[in-house]
């Protein structure tokens, strides 16, 4: 294998420049985040003494800690555990993913199930750590970006946005041409994704000579979303700044002045440009206000965060050396030899391993056995929950699919079985015999018991038999959550229909008539507490609690089922007694699909761990 050399001083300046550019862009864009109009910033809107705190960098500090804790074999499972231990943000997809993780679900299911925000920017903003820890290896950076993104964006454009940026940024170590870098990044996302389509149109409009303001409007017209955090439009704004910018300052200002998710667009472009020019190439007027400090948001805690950019850079490089070696890249970081990319680094289309990631089902979890294996497993297990995800109603039945594949070099024989919660019913033990690379698919029906719970633990058991005796037993625990029981009525219904919904969304099967659509359920609260009760809807909506109207929104607002930023007219904050409460919802149909999310969350002020988190111990139905 030919060896490529990455000089350690070059490695340092590229990484340091990227982190410094990240801080500059985030500090520029954070104060105007969410403004959708064309902006006119010419410098920091708030001139701080040091950088502003920003989740764009915060989360990557946690991922650095995860790399240090788990090593190059890091997967989405360990990153999900890091969320539980150290990340207490309630924002949009973060809040939904944390709710699922707290109930025992694992990525990618935890990032997909009941998550209306998986097309958003929460993961594209945290690509740099993977690029910097896999310098000159875009396919490896994209692999880690995928593992990261599926924790809270599985099945959505957020996954492709992070893979795009991570591959592009990793290529900066061997490629400096802007157009070539964009081309490389786009090879690591599906051509039919919304992100890819937005980027292709952006490149075409730029080549046609349209102004940056004209192009901004075209992006919003063809790829825009009312949600200011939607990924495809903001990724396009990021690259727009790069295409139309005459220098670092002009580029980040054009990106941020497009509006929308401004801290994300400016921070990512600042990181890209900082990696390209190094810290010495960044203008002093932009560097001086932020310096080399790191400011961590209070909801990010419980681990040793770097104190400054120098420490962050050195720790990033330390992990990068391990990753380059573990993946057998042929890239050597050397303290003396000059940088020399002997492999020419010609990047073709995404290889089979990357394409396989695109095609993985978000309804299923994937395990390597024995548990804890990172590579070369003896067996592989896939548990597929089906289109409704890992939810089941009390007393209801559901089919789960288990696929066990023999990845060893010898035949294996044994039994597979399911261990179920008390009161549940399921299959009997099944005997199997598998040759190397042979798979066994087991479609099995289970029936839930009569008791509702926050989550239910089930266990897949694989018992290996040798010489007619039990040789070993491997158990894979997994969780399922309660479907919520509702009674729903249409405008012309005299009697309600009982429906079990897998998540927090209340749905009516046919919404063809104008008029009032109704639904009711029981909400069970285990202890008296103050909370925020949200009825987020894309229509006028009313919510009654025990017969009393507590939410009355008479207009159609932007649909925003977020824990922390639902419209004021669509939530109420109150003290809720322990016990069972009647919840009645009315939504006004106009012939379009109705969306209503019922969400009981904490208030802003909590003792621990953070604001607006979802109360998983409150049950609906």
pLDDT value of residue 347: 65
Whether residue 380 is predicted with pLDDT greater than 90 in this model: the reply is yes
pLDDT of residue 509: 75
Q: Which two tokens stand for residue 20?
A: 């410094």
**pLDDT level of residue 348 (50, 70, 90 thresholds):** low
Residues 32 and 41: beta-carbon distance below 8 Å: yes
| CA–CA gap between residue 569 and residue 590 (Å, rounded) | 20
d(CA 100, CA 614): 10
Average pLDDT rounded to a whole number, residues 207-216? 98
Q: Tokens 């073709």 appear where? A: 348
- H/E run at residue 392: strand 391-392
Share of the chain above pLDDT 70, in %: 99
Average pLDDT over residues 494-508: 93
Mean pLDDT of 233-258: 98
Where do the structural domains in the chain lie, given as residue ranges? 4-354, 363-482, 484-620
Residue 78 vs residues 128, 374, 494: alpha-carbon distances, Å: 19, 11, 50
Q: Is the pLDDT of residue 417 over 60?
A: yes
- Identify the residue whose tokens are 């670092």: 248
Quick one: pLDDT band at residue 335, thresholds 50, 70, 90?
very high
Tokens encoding 76: 């989405």
Task: Reply yes or no on domain 363-482 having CATH 2.60.40.10.
Answer: yes
At residue 524, does pLDDT exceed 80?
Answer: yes
**Which helix (H) or strand (E) covers residue 346, if one does?**
none
**pLDDT score recorded for residue 154:** 98
Residue 136 · residue 150 · CB < 8 Å = no
Q: What is the pLDDT of residue 312?
A: 98
- Give the homologous superfamily in CATH for domain 4-354: ADP-ribosylation/Crystallin J1 (1.10.4080.10)
- Tell me the CA distances in angstroms from 574 to 519, 528, 571, 621, one per residue in order: 22, 11, 10, 20
Angle at 403 between CA 400 and CA 405, to 5 degrees: 165
Torsional sign, CA 450, 447, 618, 620: negative
Superfamily holding 484-620:
Galactose-binding domain-like (2.60.120.260)
Q: Residue 610: which of 118, 25, 55 has the closest Cα?
A: 55
What's the whole-number average pLDDT of the chain?
Answer: 96
Tokens of residue 166, six digits: 């991570």
User: What pLDDT is stored for residue 152 in this prediction?
Assistant: 98
CA atoms of 154 and 615, how far apart (whole Å): 22
């Amino acid at each position: 294998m030919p060896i490529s050399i990455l000089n350690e001083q070059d490695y340092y300046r590229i990484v340091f420049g990227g982190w410094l550019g990240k801080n500059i862009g985030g500090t520029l864009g954070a104060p105007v985040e969410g403004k959708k109009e064309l902006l006119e910033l010419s410098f920091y809107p708030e001139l701080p003494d040091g950088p502003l705190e920003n989740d764009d960098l915060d989360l990557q500090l946690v991922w650095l800690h995860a790399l240090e804790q788990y090593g190059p074999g890091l997967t989405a499972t360990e990153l999900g555990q890091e969320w539980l231990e150290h990340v207490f943000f309630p924002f949009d997809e973060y809040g939904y993913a944390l709710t699922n993780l707290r109930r025992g679900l694992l990525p990618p299911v935890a990032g997909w199930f009941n998550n209306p925000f998986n097309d958003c920017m929460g993961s594209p903003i945290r690509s740099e750590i993977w690029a910097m820890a896999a310098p000159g290896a875009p396919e490896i950076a994209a692999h880690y970006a995928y593992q990261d993104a599926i924790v809270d964006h599985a099945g959505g454009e957020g996954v492709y946005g992070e893979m795009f940026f991570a591959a592009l940024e990793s290529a900066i170590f061997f490629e400096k041409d802007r157009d070539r870098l964009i081309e490389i990044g786009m090879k690591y996302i599906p051509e039919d994704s919304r992100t890819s389509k937005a980027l292709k149109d952006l490149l075409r409009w730029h080549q046609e000579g349209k102004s940056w303001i004209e192009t901004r409007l075209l992006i919003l017209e063809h790829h825009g979303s009312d949600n200011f955090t939607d990924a495809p439009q903001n990724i396009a704004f990021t690259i727009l700044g790069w295409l139309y910018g005459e220098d670092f300052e002009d580029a980040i200002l054009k990106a941020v002045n497009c509006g929308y998710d401004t801290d994300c667009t400016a921070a990512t472009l600042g990181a890209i440009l900082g990696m390209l020019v190094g810290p010495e190439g960044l203008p002093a007027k932009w560097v001086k206000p932020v310096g080399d400090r790191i400011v961590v948001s209070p909801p990010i805690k419980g681990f040793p965060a770097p104190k400054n950019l120098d420490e962050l850079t050195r720790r990033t490089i330390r992990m990068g050396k391990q990753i380059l070696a573990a993946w057998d890249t042929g890239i050597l970081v050397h303290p003396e030899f000059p940088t020399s990319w002997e492999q020419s680094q010609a990047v073709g289309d995404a290889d089979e391993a990357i394409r396989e990631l695109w095609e993985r089902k978000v309804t299923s979890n994937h395990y390597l056995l024995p548990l804890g294996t990172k590579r070369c497993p003896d067996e592989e297990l896939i548990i597929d929950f089906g289109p409704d995800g890992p939810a089941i109603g009390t007393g209801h039945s559901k089919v789960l699919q288990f696929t066990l594949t023999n990845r060893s070099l010898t035949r294996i024989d044994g039994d597979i079985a399911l261990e179920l919660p008390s009161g549940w019913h399921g299959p009997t033990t099944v005997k199997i015999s598998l040759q190397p690379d042979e798979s066994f698919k087991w479609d099995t029906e289970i029936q839930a018991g009569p008791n509702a719970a926050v989550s239910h633990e089930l266990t897949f058991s694989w018992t290996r038999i040798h010489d007619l005796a039990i040789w070993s037993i491997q158990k894979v625990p997994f969780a399922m959550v309660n479907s919520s029981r509702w009674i729903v009525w249409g405008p012309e219904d005299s009697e309600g229909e009982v429906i079990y919904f897998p998540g927090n969304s209340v749905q009516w099967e046919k919404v063809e008539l104008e008029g009032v659509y109704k639904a009711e359920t029981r909400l069970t609260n285990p202890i008296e507490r103050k909370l925020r009760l949200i009825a987020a809807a894309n229509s006028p909506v009313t919510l009654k609690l025990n017969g009393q109207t507590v939410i009355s929104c008479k207009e159609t607002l932007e649909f925003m089922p977020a824990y922390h930023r639902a419209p004021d007219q669509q939530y109420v904050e109150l003290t809720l007694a322990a016990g069972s409460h009647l919840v009645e919802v009315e939504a006004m149909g106009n012939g379009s699909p109705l969306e209503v999310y019922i969400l009981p969350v904490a208030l802003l002020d909590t003792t621990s761990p953070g604001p607006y988190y979802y109360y998983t111990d409150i049950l609906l139905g």
